[in-house]
Amino acid sequence: MRSSTSRSIVAAALVAALGATLGAQRIQINGAGATFPNPIYSKWFDEYNKAHPNVAINYQSVGSGAGIRQIQAQTVFFGASDGPMTNEQLQQAPGKILHFPTVLGAVVPVYNIPNVTAALKFSGPVLADIFLGKITKWNDPQISKLNAGVNLPATDITVVHRSDGSGTTYIWVDYLSKVAPEFLKKVGVNTAVNWPTGVGGKGNEGVAGLVRQSPGSLGYVELIYALQNKISYGSVQSMAGEFVTASVQTVTAAANEASSKMPADFRVSITNAPGNGVYPISSFTWLLLYENPKDKAQSKAMVDFLKWALTDGQRYCGDLGYAPLPESVVKLEMAALARVKTS
């Protein structure tokens, strides 16, 4: 019995070693971060893997906060976030991290009110008051004023926010802080904030799930999550005073002003942008890469992928509710990509 057990142990070790070596022939790149662009990233990585079967990019949508943390700790090769890293966060990283915008997206207010199918109109201050816990019922006069003709019930509003660190949260509170000084003071702008009220869901997926299942709830998610799950979402009042619904056109319009004045590190906020036909809660989303990563093979594969994503990959945007990047921004990024060391 003893000799056969030792033989099986050796066999098992061989299989494991074989597995490890087979795994090493293809390039696996691990990334983690924002749930906001997860639909388009997973489409991209899938399509890219079909065209380049030896490159497997494993992206885990765990939230922008986690993405920033993991790239700082170098437990993943690249991060993804919809809130640009702060100067302190950049300083904490062991090397220089570059931001690369990938797509434009919108964060929409989603709600679930039984018997109300109309698209509601919201203004910035009203949304801020709801999330501050000052407006608590759907038939509050401030909401009814904006939505004449809609029969709003006297149900309590259940606020749904993110329980994890989120770039989607960042975009949302960035906007609310710009339109409501009290919100800026009480809550502030970050990927994870101290919410005055509400229930927490994990990821865009979690918030969408909670809103879908809880009558009377109001949350915020990236547009595609509302579209794919057929959850009602409302229009938001822009700086110009119009009530704008999120779409590819209105999000692209939000980026117009910023693209002409794009800073070199691509960190810019486009919420509450001026102009007509502009959706006020729009944002870039960024991939985070080290300028000088240790694994050059992975670096080369990642840079090649990004070049594809910024050009060919952009055609997948429309179907998934994202807006493609403006040409001028893509040109600047291709030039910036040269800074990433691939050898």
Partner 1 sequence: MSRTTRRKILSSAFVAFCAGSVIVALVPLGFILFFVITQGIRALNVAFFVHMPKPVGEPGGGMANAIVGTLMVSGLAALMAVPIGVVSGVYMSEYGGTKFASVIRFAADTLNGVPSIVIGVFAYGVAVLPFKQFSALAGGFALGVMMIPIIARTTEELLLLVPGAMREGALALGATRASAVFSVVLPAALPGIVTGIVLALARIAGETAPLLFTSFNNRFFTTDLRQPIATMTVQVFTYAISPYDDWHRQAWAGALVLVVIVLVCSLLARVATRRLERMHARG
Partner 2 sequence: MRSKDLGFRVATGAFALVLVALVCAIGFELARQSMASIQKFGFNFWRTDVWDPVAGQFGALPFIWGTLYSSILALAIATPIALGIAVFIAELCPAALRQPLVFLTELLAAIPSIVYGLWGIFVLVPAIRAFETSIPGALRQLPLFSGPPLGVGMLSAALILAVMVIPFTSSVSREVLKSVPAAQREGAYALGATRFEAIRAALYYARTGIVGAVMLGFGRALGETMAVTMVIGNNPRVSLSLFAPQYTMAAVIANEFTEAADELYLAALVEIGLVLFIITLVVNSLSRLLIWSMTRSAVVLQTPEPTETPAAA
Site residues (CB under 8 A) for partner 1? 16, 19-20, 22-24, 28, 30, 32, 38-39, 42-43, 45-46, 49, 56, 58-61, 73-76, 201-203, 205-206, 208-209, 212, 224-225, 228-229, 231, 320
Q: In terms of Cα–Cα distance, which of 287, 270, 288 is closest to 326?
A: 270
**Shorter beta-carbon distance to partner 2: residue 65 or 326:** 65
**Shorter beta-carbon distance to partner 1: residue 224 or 302:** 224
CB 273 within 8 A of CB 254: yes
Shortest approach of partner 1 to residue 291 CB, angstroms? 17
**Site for partner 2 contains 208 (CB under 8 A):** no
What's the Rg (C-alpha) of the chain?
22
Q: In terms of Cα–Cα distance, which of 106, 71, 60, 19 is closest to 320?
A: 106
**Shorter beta-carbon distance to partner 2: residue 159 or 323:** 159
Bridge pairing between strands 121-122 and 235-237: parallel
The tokens describing 333, both together, are 């990024």
**Shorter beta-carbon distance to partner 1: residue 41 or 183:** 41
**Shorter beta-carbon distance to partner 1: residue 22 or 154:** 22
The 3-class secondary structure across 223-245, one letter per residue, is HHHHHHCCCEECEEECCCCCEEC
The footprint of partner 2 on residues 291-310 (CB under 8 A) is none
**Site for partner 2 contains 288 (CB under 8 A):** no
Contact letters (x/-) for partner 2, 249-268, by CB under 8 A?
A: --------------------
Shortest approach of partner 2 to residue 156 CB, angstroms? 4
Q: In terms of Cα–Cα distance, which of 143, 237, 128, 239 is closest to 186?
A: 128
Residue 284 CA to residue 286 CA, distance in Å, equals: 7
Q: Which amino acid belongs to residue 43? A: K
Shortest approach of partner 2 to residue 65 CB, angstroms? 3
Bridge pairing between strands 217-222 and 55-61: unpaired
Q: In terms of Cα–Cα distance, which of 266, 236, 239 is closest to 333?
A: 266
The size of the chain, in residues, is 343
**Shorter beta-carbon distance to partner 2: residue 72 or 235:** 72
**Site for partner 2 contains 139 (CB under 8 A):** no
Which of the choices partner 1, partner 2, none does residue 198 contact, using the CB cut-off of 5 to 8 A by kind?
partner 2
**Shorter beta-carbon distance to partner 1: residue 183 or 233:** 233
CB 267 within 8 A of CB 84: yes
The span of 181-189, 229-237, 248-256, 321-329 binding partner 2 (CB under 8 A) equals 181-189
Q: Which amino acid belongs to residue 167? A: G
Residue 210 CA to residue 245 CA, distance in Å, equals: 22
**Site for partner 2 contains 227 (CB under 8 A):** no
Residue 269 CA to residue 267 CA, distance in Å, equals: 7
List interacting residues with partner 2 (CB under 8 A).
Answer: 32, 62-70, 72, 88-89, 92, 155-156, 158, 163-165, 187-195, 198-202, 210, 213-214, 216-217
